[in-house]
Amino acid sequence: MRDLRLTVRRIHPRPTLRRRVPDAVAVGLLGVAALGVLYPILADRTQQPLAVFVVPTLIAAALGTWRQVAVVGGASLAVSTVEGVVQAELDAAGLAARLVIIVTCWLVGMAVAAERSRRQRTLDAAASQAVLIDAFQSSLVPAPLPPRRIAIEVRFQPGDGRLRLGGDFFDAIELPDGALGYIIGDVCGQGARAAALGAAVRTGWKTIATHVPDDPRTWVEVLESSFFRTRRREGFVTVNTGRLHPDHEHVRYVSAGHPWPIVVDPAGPRLERPIVSPPLGAVAAPVFHTSELTLPSGSTLLLHTDGLTENRVDGRRRLDGDAELLELLAREQRVDLDRLLAHFGPRGFTDDVAVMTISVPPPARGGSARLDA
């Protein structure tokens, strides 16, 4: 699935100002030398165009740093002073007026070069940060590995087009007994801290589920104890985590403050209403409850974070996103995650969004189920 095939592109560094410095100096000094040779000819034909010596300085300002502009500008000032005295034979007032122009352009050129250097450093820092974020994000987005007879499809989209990091997370693995273990969650908050906590919770869940494969409630209880027992962490985490064996039609799961799951089958979509459990880290001494739902062959379980159905429309929050989602699924008669994202976020999302489907293909199809992840 294209959303999970994340690669860190090898970004070649832009040519920096330091690499262009020798060219700026060479071009500038060459221009000064050329004007020194040509100026006697120009002075005979015009009215002592001494201000022409600002040209090398301006060229250096366009190419180099302020230090290089200082070198070229100093050379231009020196040569122009000699030319003004020797060739043009200007009086003191005329020479001073022309030299003021040259010095002014010299100072302006250094200021322009310094500002461009500052902006270039800012751009280089932003590019480096983008590379690090891409690498971090690619390490956070897992590739679910369910049992062969179960198909998993996922989408993730960070909110508001800011950092490509988000607090929503998901994963799916094959448990030691051959069942599917899955988790989808939402960390309160956004950005790098939320992404780091989500990655830690997901990694901890995978370890717990592998060692205690038959009890989703234990998974959540251990996560709560591990991450929030000391109450030193701010915020909370909502999760929906459970297990499904390919040979059975029942999903045992815990929904801890998470949006309710939806089962989509040929009869249409239905919203499952689990026994309510609090989010991780929300209350002291929480009690978590196990719920069950039926997932027959040929049906799909849809799980999502609240960033999908609570996304704003024209600046206003949706009043009943769950009903809108059910209506869309009933109209489409299938689960198309790309269409869901396009419908609820035509101009992007204000919050992070994670969506996961778990499908058990009907036996009539034969062979192994297609894995879109």
Residue 321's pLDDT band (boundaries 50, 70, 90)?
A: confident
- CATH (domain of 326): 3.60.40.10
Same domain? For 197 and 292 the reply is: yes
Is the pLDDT higher at 189 or at 305? 305
pLDDT for 46: 54
Q: How many residues in total does the chain contain?
A: 373
95: tokens are 């020479």
The conformational region for residue 185 under phi > 0 = left, psi -120 to 50 = alpha, else beta, is beta
Same domain? For 177 and 131 the reply is: no
Same domain? For 57 and 163 the reply is: no
Same domain? For 118 and 230 the reply is: no
Q: State how many domains the chain has.
A: 2
Is the pLDDT higher at 345 or at 135? 345
Same domain? For 75 and 104 the reply is: yes
Quote the domain boundaries for residue 43: 17-135
70: tokens are 């200082």
242-245 — which CB contacts under 8 Å span 24+ positions?
A: 242/181, 242/182, 242/216, 243/175, 243/179, 243/180, 243/181, 243/182, 243/209, 243/213, 243/214, 243/216, 244/150, 244/179, 244/180, 244/182, 244/295, 244/301, 244/358, 244/360, 245/177, 245/178, 245/179, 245/180
Same domain? For 222 and 280 the reply is: yes
What is the DSSP secondary-structure string of 179-243? Answer: -EEEEEEEESS-HHHHHHHHHHHHHHHHHHHHHSTT-HHHHHHHHHHHHHTT--S-S-EEEEEEE
Whole-angstrom Cα distance, residue 224 to residue 130? 33
* Positive or negative: CA dihedral 372, 357, 282, 167: positive
Q: Phi, psi (5° rounding) for residue 154?
A: -140, 155
Q: Phi, psi (5° rounding) for residue 187?
A: -85, 135
pLDDT, tens digit (0-9, with 9 covering 90-100), for 205-240? 999 999 999 999 999 999 999 999 876 667 899 999
Same domain? For 79 and 152 the reply is: no
Same domain? For 127 and 196 the reply is: no
Residue 164's pLDDT band (boundaries 50, 70, 90)?
A: low
Same domain? For 201 and 293 the reply is: yes
pLDDT, tens digit (0-9, with 9 covering 90-100), for 242-252? 999 878 889 99
Same domain? For 216 and 238 the reply is: yes
Residue 132's pLDDT band (boundaries 50, 70, 90)?
A: low
